[in-house]
Amino acid sequence: MALAVGQPLGRDGNLNRLIQVCEDEDVALLEIKNLHVEVEDKKILNGLTLTIEKGQVAAIMGPNGSGKSTLAYVLAGKDNYHVTEGDVLLDGKSILGMAPDERAAKGVFLAFQYPVEVPGVATMTFLRTALNAQRKTRGEPEFSTPEFMKRVRETSKLLGIDQEMLRRAVNVGFSGGEKKRNEILQMAVLEPRLAVLDETDSGLDIDALKIVSEGVNRLRSPERSMIVITHYQRLLEYIVPDVVHVMAKGRVVKSGGKELALELEATGYAQFADEAA
Amino acid sequence: MNAEVRAMKTAAEQALSAAFAAACDTLPGKGAVAALREDAFKRFDAKGLPHRRVEEWKYTDLRALMREAKPLAGPAGAKPKGDIEPVLTGVDANHTAIVNGRYEPAWSDFKDNDPGVSIVELFKFLADEPGYRLGETPGSGDPAHWLNTAFMSGGVALRVKRGAAPAKPIHIAHVFSGDAGAAMYPRVVVIVEPGAQLTLIESFSGPEGIDYQVNSALELVIGDGARVDHIKVGCDGGAALRVSTLGVAVGAKANYKNFAFTVGGAVVRNQTFVRFGGEGSEGAIDGASLLKGRQHVDNTLVISHAVGHCMSRERFKSVLDGESHGIFQGKIIVEPHAQKTDGKMMTRALLLSDEAEADNKPELEIFADDVVCGHGATAGALDEGLRFYLMSRGIPAKEAEALLVQAFIGEVVEEIAHEGVRDALMFAALKWLGSR
């Protein structure tokens, strides 16, 4: 264990988190080992192994039905996704026994492919409840209202989300682009250590894609890792990954640098159909 | 053969007969009132307590649920300290107390002296105004209502005079104050004259753990062009049995809103009968129930459009936990010639446990051909996708559920125009959630 001199404290200045981060300096942030997952008795993930380093932005690409979204849900802890074999380690410790809210408090965040509408719950209330619940679970003091408001206002401005939207019920009556921007707003406010972006580009026009990508890029930091799940290479022009993993039939079949995405764009996914079999 | 052979009287029915025989000479009101009592009891006695084979009472079998008839409640005693209805603490209103079924000025707190408002003890009102015919509002053909008429022990008559608009809500608080199970039969008359406006709050409360019985009736006459916001707050003790009959006669170009909020009581039936008797009126009959344990709450509505060009909306939501049982029966009747009627009914039940039960029975009886009427009903558990979304943001399961239930109930509670009452009920809902 080494406490690096001059390493910035977290934005919340919480020493415990920093110490924890430093303690685990030699361990990868996320290690997925030989993961097998069934949904309704159907095998979806089939021995998936993947390591995400601290601060790394990893793209996961693959054809429809390769298990990308299942991986996202399993990481977030959704019910009815049964892990039959393997493990998922965050900071070297298994998170499979944890409820979704506990994982969130540990720093896992999923930006949903289809963000859910929450009628009757104002976005602002939702954000504050979530942030304070996480802080409470971590044993940190709750945010004061002015401090919280400032944080949300700044971020929403950058994402082109107007104040009126924050007063409206979460995602209710939002356009596809607004919903995705709202996901990134939540990510910015909750400051996760591992963000999983599930097809964040789907349903976005080019302008919205740029805004969302800029929002994501602003959140890149040596303390934050990201898994960017996408079907197309287009998103990766805006969010440039450190590594690209290709999934097929429930496992990673190829890994490489960002140029792999371009290669795939040219050749398609058909070549992997056999490799995974 | 006569199919209406009455089964043997139950213990409760026998006790009611004995109680009426013993009390009919001493109950307040002579002459016409006494005759009304006599007639009502005769009608009741012929039918007995309503049971599951009486269609209107299908889900609330009073013969089975009311094992015994409690003795008539005694005097109120001294007013305890504190607000008469804690749920409404913070709501600036004029309070009128009806304790153990009788008007208690000493328990009341009527601050304003508005010349447009008069509030008089019920039997004094009936003696002073022989022209007022008690029991002419809709719903008076119901057996529980007969029982109220037979035993009515007191209450008030509230009048809001032509064009008057009292600044604060008028709160009629029904309280049971005894320390052993007893029965109370309050009766309230509310007359809102043409062009007048009123926010009326009716509340029901009593001690926990005492199996008191309430059979209340309120008749509300709304004049042409008048507006009434009526909020019913049911916070009875957990062992109480209450049946409340509300009869509303709506004039022309009037507006009537009713909101029934129920959290308390072991067995509660709110039966609401509204009749649109003048064209161009609007009505909204809404409600929210939050139930747990073995609570049984029945909201039964009969909305009758006797004339055309009126609009009615009914929206009820219930949250059912434990082994509770929530019932909604809503009937919209469109009489012949009541053309251009617009009636819609919606009920939603949220089941928080596998043992809870929701029954919905919407009915439309339409005898006119140019109308728009519809109904919808849903019952289901909390949306798992929603729950997961909230939890994935770090909100623990219990808190996520509370937030979703709050939002579910909030959608109807928001319909209450009076901000103070709205906040008070939302707070009561939060308290209910906190106690789960």
pLDDT tens across A54-105, in order? 999 999 999 989 999 999 999 999 999 999 999 999 999 999 999 999 999 9
Condensed to tens digits (0 to 9), the pLDDT of residues B247-256 reads: 999 999 999 9
Any B CB within 8 A of A241 CB: no
Binned at pLDDT 50, 70 and 90, residue A2 comes out as very low
Alpha-carbon span A23 to A13, nearest angstrom: 17
Is residue A199 within 8 A of residue A226, CB to CB? The reply is no
The confidence score (pLDDT) of residue A17 equals: 53
Q: Which residue has the tokens 């356009």?
A: A175
Predicted complex ipTM = 0.90
Asked if pLDDT for residue A151 goes beyond 90, the answer is no
The confidence score (pLDDT) of residue A276 equals: 45
Q: What is the Cα A165 distance to its own chain's centre?
A: 23
Give the closest of B388, B389, B403 to A129, CB-based: B403
Q: What is the Cα B143 distance to its own chain's centre?
A: 16
Q: Which amino acid is at B152?
A: M
Any A CB within 8 A of B410 CB: yes
Three-class SS state of A165:
helix
How far is the CA of A142 from the CAs of A135, A220, A232, in angstroms?
Answer: 6, 25, 40
Mean pLDDT (whole number) for B43-60? 96
Asked if pLDDT for residue A277 goes beyond 60, the answer is no
Residue A184 sits at φ, ψ, to 5 deg, of -70, -35
Alpha-carbon span A245 to A257, nearest angstrom: 9
DSSP character for A36?
E
The confidence score (pLDDT) of residue A11 equals: 46
Binned at pLDDT 50, 70 and 90, residue B336 comes out as very high
Residue in A with minimal Cα distance to B405 = A120
The confidence score (pLDDT) of residue A25 equals: 60
- Compute the nearest-CA separation of A81 from chain B (Å): 13
Binned at pLDDT 50, 70 and 90, residue A3 comes out as very low
Any A CB within 8 A of B429 CB: no
Residue in A with minimal Cα distance to B396 = A101
Is residue A31 within 8 A of residue A92, CB to CB? The reply is yes
The confidence score (pLDDT) of residue A275 equals: 52
- Which tokens belong to B54? 């009486």
Cβ of B397 within 8 Å of Cβ of A116? The answer is no
Cβ of A120 within 8 Å of Cβ of B408? The answer is yes
Residue in B with minimal Cα distance to A104 = B394
Alpha-carbon span B212 to B207, nearest angstrom: 9
Asked if pLDDT for residue B291 goes beyond 50, the answer is yes
Condensed to tens digits (0 to 9), the pLDDT of residues A168-182 reads: 999 999 999 899 999
Q: What angle do CA B405, B409, B410 make, to 5 degrees?
A: 110
Asked if pLDDT for residue B234 goes beyond 50, the answer is yes
Cβ-Cβ contacts under 8 Å for B258 (sequence gap 6 or more): B230, B231, B232, B246, B248, B272, B274, B283, B284, B285, B286, B287
Give the closest of A105, A112, A131 to B389, CB-based: A112
- Compute the nearest-CA separation of B389 from chain A (Å): 7
- Which tokens belong to B157? 């008559």
Interface test with chain A among B388, B392, B414, by most A beta carbons within 10 Å: B392
- Which tokens belong to A267? 């050749």
Of A39, A30, A70, A53, the C-alpha closest to A251 is A70
Binned at pLDDT 50, 70 and 90, residue A4 comes out as very low
Cβ-Cβ contacts under 8 Å for B67 (sequence gap 6 or more): B11, B12
Asked if pLDDT for residue B7 goes beyond 70, the answer is no
The confidence score (pLDDT) of residue A106 equals: 97
The confidence score (pLDDT) of residue A143 equals: 86
Asked if pLDDT for residue B27 goes beyond 60, the answer is yes
Is residue B193 within 8 A of residue B224, CB to CB? The reply is no
The confidence score (pLDDT) of residue B1 equals: 46
Condensed to tens digits (0 to 9), the pLDDT of residues B360-419 reads: 999 999 999 999 999 999 999 999 999 999 999 999 999 999 999 999 999 999 999 999
Determine the CATH number of domain A15-275: 3.40.50.300
Cβ of A104 within 8 Å of Cβ of B392? The answer is yes
The confidence score (pLDDT) of residue A161 equals: 87
Asked if pLDDT for residue A217 goes beyond 70, the answer is yes
Cβ of B411 within 8 Å of Cβ of A120? The answer is yes
Asked if pLDDT for residue A18 goes beyond 80, the answer is no
The confidence score (pLDDT) of residue A274 equals: 59
Helix%, strand%, coil% for chain A, nearest 5? 40, 25, 35
Alpha-carbon span A216 to A212, nearest angstrom: 6
Asked if pLDDT for residue B175 goes beyond 90, the answer is yes
**Domain boundary assignment for chain A:** 15-275
Can you name the residues that pair with A194 across neighbouring β-strands?
A: A108, A225
Mean pLDDT, all residues of chain B: 95
